[in-house]
């Protein structure tokens, strides 16, 4: 690699979070498209990097890393940016909400988006209805935390968690295509809305917009990605 990092990505997938953080940190990196239309995530070469066949993977001088939260935490600790340090009194709170975002919020989103992978397709809409209720509860909790305005959710000094949440709010407004999405309204979470409005104007977000065709307001009024290569699904 000419750069220290190589991001294996698909447009508007979880790799978007990693791209935003790399841009915010000002780190050089290369990208490799994982073409989901050709199921490249299931190829032998890709599964050698991530045996789960999920996106993203970040290749580093210490080897490939997968799992979005693991990549985010590794980058934050490696570069001393965008997260409270190990000796910070804010570290515990930051970690619990980062893993809530990853293990609960994002995991439930996957069930909403890919319900037919988890249950008989005939029951998929029933499962989605239950997940919408759970997700509304998760968002209320996260918005209450954002109301406290902890340093690690500051729009002026973004954290890896802030960008992670911004992407998930984007996806809630867009996916699954053709399904009922009226359950989610960004103004219902005013403190998260204030955060992502500010993140939307940052240079890192503008760079991601250009790279993945995200539209002018990717978090507050998102449209489907129109990338120059690949597709979001």
Taking only the tens place, the pLDDT of each residue in 172-194 is 999 988 888 899 999 999 999 99
Mean pLDDT across 148-157: 93
Q: Is residue 33 part of a domain?
A: no
pLDDT tens for each residue of 19-71 = 999 999 999 999 999 999 898 999 999 999 999 999 999 999 999 999 999 99
Q: Is 76 within 8 Å of 158 (Cβ atoms)? A: no
Question: What is the C-alpha to C-alpha distance for residues 112 and 203, in angstroms, rounded to an integer?
Answer: 31
Q: Is the pLDDT of residue 216 over 80?
A: yes
Where is average pLDDT lowest: 29-33, 86-90, 116-120, 229-233? 229-233
Segment 74-83, tens digit of pLDDT: 999 999 999 9
Residue 204's closest CA among 219, 194, 191? 219
Asked whether residue 150 is assigned to any structural domain, the reply reads yes
**Domain-embedded: residue 3:** no
The 57-60 sheet, strands edge to edge: 30-33, 6-9, 57-60, 63-66
Indicate the pLDDT class of residue 129, thresholds 50, 70 and 90. Answer: very high
Q: Is residue 59 part of a domain?
A: no
Percent of the chain whose pLDDT exceeds 90: 88
> What is the three-state SS of the chain?
CCCCCEEEECCCCCHHHHHHHHHHHCCCCEEEECCHHHCHHHCHHHHHHCCCCCCCEEEECCEEEECHHHHHHHHHHHHCCCCCCCCCCCHHHHHHHHHHHHHHHHHHHHHHHCHHHCCCHHHHHHHHHHHHHHHHHHHHHHHHHHHCCCHHHCCCCCCHHHHHHHHHHHHHHHCCCCCCCCCCCHHHCHHHHHHHHHHCCCHHHHHHHHHHCCCCCCCCCCCCCCCCCCCCC
Round to whole Å and give the CA distance between 180 and 174.
Answer: 10
Under a CB-based contact definition with an 8 Å cutoff, are residues 200 and 218 in contact? Answer: yes
Residue 139 lies in a domain: yes
Contacts of 130 (CB under 8 A, 6+ apart): none
Decide if pLDDT at 228 tops 70.
yes
96 is a domain residue: yes
The count of domains in the chain is: 1
What residue has token string 């009194």?
89
**Residues of the domain holding 189:** 91-202
Take residue 108 and report the two structure tokens written for it: 């439930």
- What CATH number did the domain enclosing 162 receive? 1.20.1050
pLDDT of 2 reads 75
Tokens of 155: 């729009």
Give the residue-averaged pLDDT of 200-222: 97
pLDDT of 1 over the 90 cut: no
Sorted by sequence, the CB contacts under 8 Å of residue 61 that are 6+ apart come out as 4
Note whether residue 212 is domain-resident: no
What are the φ/ψ torsions at residue 118 (nearest 5 degrees)?
-110, -15
**pTM for this one?**
0.96
């Amino acid at each position: 690699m000419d750069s220290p990092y190589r991001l294996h990505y698909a447009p508007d997938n979880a790799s978007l979070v990693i791209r935003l953080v790399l841009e915010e940190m000002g780190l050089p990196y290369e990208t490799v498209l994982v073409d989901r239309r050709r199921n490249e995530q299931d190829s032998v070469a890709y599964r050698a990097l991530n045996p789960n066949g999920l996106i993203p993977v970040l290749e580093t001088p210490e080897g490939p890393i997968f799992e979005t939260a693991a990549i985010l935490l590794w980058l934050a600790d490696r570069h001393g940016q965008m997260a409270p340090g190990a000796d910070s009194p804010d570290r515990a709170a930051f970690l619990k909400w980062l893993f809530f975002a990853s293990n609960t919020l994002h995991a439930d989103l996957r069930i909403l988006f890919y319900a037919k992978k988890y249950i008989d397709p005939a029951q998929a809409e029933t499962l989605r209805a239950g997940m919408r209720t759970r997700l509304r509860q998760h968002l209320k909790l996260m918005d209450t935390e954002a109301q406290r305005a902890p340093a690690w959710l500051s729009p002026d000094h973004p954290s890896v968690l802030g960008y992670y949440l911004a992407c998930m709010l984007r996806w809630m407004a867009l996916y699954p295509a053709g399904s009922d999405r009226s359950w989610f309204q960004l103004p219902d979470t005013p403190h998260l809305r204030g955060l992502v409005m500010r993140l939307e104007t940052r240079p890192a977000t503008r760079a991601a917009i250009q790279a993945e065709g995200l539209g002018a307001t990717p978090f507050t009024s998102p449209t489907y990605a129109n990338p120059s290569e690949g597709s979001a699904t």
